[in-house]
Amino acid sequence: MTEDMVDLVVTSAPHVRKKIKTSQIMRDVLIALVPATVGGLYFFGTGHTLGVIIVAVLSTILAEYLGNLIFRKKSTLWDFSSGVTGLLLALVLPPGSPYWMVVVGAFSAIFIGKIIFGGIGSNPFNPALVGRVVLMVSWPTFMTMWLKPFYWKIGSQSLDAITSATPLNIVKLQSYSALIQQFGSKIALYKVLFIGNVGGCIGETSALLLLIGGIYLLVKKVIDWRIPFTYIISVFVFSFIFGRDPLFSILAGGLFLGAFFMATDYSSSPVMPKGKIIFGIFVGFLTVIIRQFSPYPEGVMFSILLGNAFVPYFDKLRPHVYGVFAKRGGKA
């Protein structure tokens, strides 16, 4: 080698890195989840609901510690990732979930969804959703037992919340018109869904509080706008195509929680901008398809997990590489 030549260092991806620690990212995610968490405690009470959150977070931290110990990995407890997984798991569980089931879900999220793939950064699926799907297929009865939240007064009208079913459950088992009849009008339904005083999982009912958290993550540049924007818009558009109320479709269920906090998981979502847009459209389409044609009233969980499986293909949709020769000759 001559003196003016330099050595080439070969490294694995990613080649472009930011000077930000995982703990900083996870801290911002925890802060963004505070509004939805507080809202869940307000709507469903601070008794058993608070216990579910505490048990979920402590169980994921314990599972992470044991996993690192068993597989002799460097401790990752101080990056807050296990705590984020535990809180997200708690927020997608019914408020009355038994504690033993929460522990099973937490250990499933960490061991099945994270540790066996190599730990943080290597998991192809969102760990919290892995834990939830294990509970859903194992104990579907417990996972569909909804508590009645406190009523919320809108204007001069007091609207009693749904007692034993979520709005999506009522649409699936009865009809959309039956749901409208319970709330009196579409506007009243939209207001209650936006505020969050309906039956559902602990942290998924309030579109307003989740939107506040999502905007915080966008402002802090923790997440990219492409996935949540295309996901929500896709659900709106495809719902309209299939004859569903598009506004109801984006306000009901766990769409906002999934769009801002689940589908944007760094390890299980696309890296390329074009891949993120295709991913958002794909999971949005699947969400509407599952809600429309499957026996499940909700489709966010399964659509995101299925989308995670296709992430390597979405990331192959790379931008054009300049500086190479085109097929017909000449430089591209």
The tens place of each residue's pLDDT in the chain, 332 residues long, gives: 444 544 444 444 444 455 567 888 999 999 999 999 999 999 988 888 999 999 999 999 999 999 888 888 776 667 788 899 999 999 999 998 999 999 999 999 999 999 988 877 788 999 999 999 999 999 998 888 877 775 444 444 444 444 457 888 888 888 888 888 888 889 999 999 999 888 889 999 999 999 999 999 999 999 999 999 999 999 999 999 999 999 999 999 899 999 999 999 988 999 999 999 999 999 999 999 999 998 888 989 999 999 999 999 888 876 555 555 555 554 44
Residue 101: predicted pLDDT: 96
Residue 122: predicted pLDDT: 83
**Paired tokens of 62:** 């314990």
Residue 315: predicted pLDDT: 82
Q: Read off the pTM.
A: 0.85
At residue 218's C-alpha, the angle toward residues 217 and 223, to 5°, is: 75
Domain spans of the chain, in order of start: 22-144, 225-316
Indicate the helix (H) or strand (E) that contains 154.
strand 152-154
Q: Which of the 8 DSSP states describes residue 72?
A: T
- The three-state secondary structure class of 217 is helix
> What is the rounded distance in angstroms from the CA atom of residue 109 to the CA atom of residue 114?
7
What is the rounded radius of gyration, in angstroms, for the C-alpha atoms of the chain? 22
> What is the rounded distance in angstroms from the CA atom of residue 167 to the CA atom of residue 157?
19
Evaluate whether 85 touches 114 at the Cβ level (below 8 Å).
yes
Helix axes 22-44, 81-91, angle to 10 degrees: 30
**Paired tokens of 119:** 């730990």
Residue 203: predicted pLDDT: 92
